[in-house]
Structures are given as structure tokens and as C-alpha cells.
Amino acid sequence: MHTGLNKLTQSANWIIVEGAGGWYTPLCAEHTLADWVIQQQLPLILTVGIKLGCINHAILTAQAIEQSGLLLAEWVANEIILPGQYQKDYLLTLQQRLSAPCLGVIPHLPNWQSHSIGKFVNLDNLL
């Protein structure tokens, strides 16, 4: 696992590694995504699916990341469902409770494949 990332690091100014499924997603019988990221000592960007339960999920994930000794550098809000009555409250609470700044809010896009979602996220602070 280590060799591929080292090769990429030599040929790029910066690399974003996407981890789908969550912090403790198993990669094999013995290792999780968290194990690999800790081994690589990578800073993290947390994606939060904005819906009921997202505050608890985001705070627990942020705590696990920080307890591992890694940096939670930023987070992104992803409105995975149509914004409801409490959508703004969820976002405000997350901004108050997470130690990292928010890179942006990706709105609910039913046909997201036909959109350029990069315009909703500001990566300037990462450069």
C-alpha cells in the first residue's frame, strides 16, 4: 500500500485520496481505512452528509481522527438529501462544533454527474 502513494508524491504537487465508506471502513480482514491513513500520516478532509444524525456522526468521526494524532484539516458539507427544516441548523452547529473550517457546501444535486461540484468547494486554504 505504501509504494503507490510514494510514487504519486514524487510526481505531483499535492494529492487528494478519497476514502469512501467512513473512517473505520474495512480494507481487508485486518485493516481499516483509518489504519492506512494513520500509517501514511495524512491530513484529513471530512465529508459530512447533511441529514438527521450528521452532527453526532461528524463529531464522533472528528474525535476519532484527532485521537489518532492526525490533523482534521477541513470538512465539507454534502447536502445528500433535499434541504429540510433543520438544514441550516445542522450546518451552523457543525461549524460551531468542528475544530476545522468548512471548505464549502455542496447542494443537493439529483443529477450530480452533470454538474461540476468543484465550484462549491474552496480549496485555496489547502494550497
pLDDT digits (tens, 9 = 90+) for 69-111: 999 999 999 999 999 999 999 999 999 999 999 999 999 988 7
Are 107 and 117 part of one and the same domain? yes
Are 57 and 33 part of one and the same domain? no
Q: Taking residues 2-11, what's their average pLDDT?
A: 80
Are 55 and 94 part of one and the same domain? yes
Are 30 and 72 part of one and the same domain? no
In a domain, 19, yes or no: no
**Confidence at 114, pLDDT banded by 50, 70, 90:** low
List the strands of the sheet with 72-78, edge to edge.
44-49, 72-78, 102-106
Are 57 and 116 part of one and the same domain? yes
Are 67 and 106 part of one and the same domain? yes
User: For the CA atoms of 15, 96, 24, 71, what is the dihedral angle to 10 degrees?
Assistant: 40
**Confidence at 31, pLDDT banded by 50, 70, 90:** very high
Number of domains in the chain: 2
Whether residue 2 has pLDDT greater than 70 = no
CA proximity to 70, closest of 98, 106, 37: 37
Residue 33, domain extent: 1-13+26-42
Are 49 and 37 part of one and the same domain? no
Q: How far, in Å, CA of 15 to CA of 63, rounded?
A: 24
Are 116 and 67 part of one and the same domain? yes
Are 121 and 84 part of one and the same domain? yes
Are 71 and 33 part of one and the same domain? no
Are 36 and 65 part of one and the same domain? no
Whether residue 57 has pLDDT greater than 60 = yes
Average pLDDT, the chain: 90
Whether residue 126 has pLDDT greater than 70 = no
Percent of the chain with pLDDT over 90: 69
Q: Look at 100 and 15; give whichever has higher pLDDT.
A: 100
The DSSP letter of residue 107 is: P
Task: For residue 97, give the CATH number of its domain.
Answer: 3.40.50.300
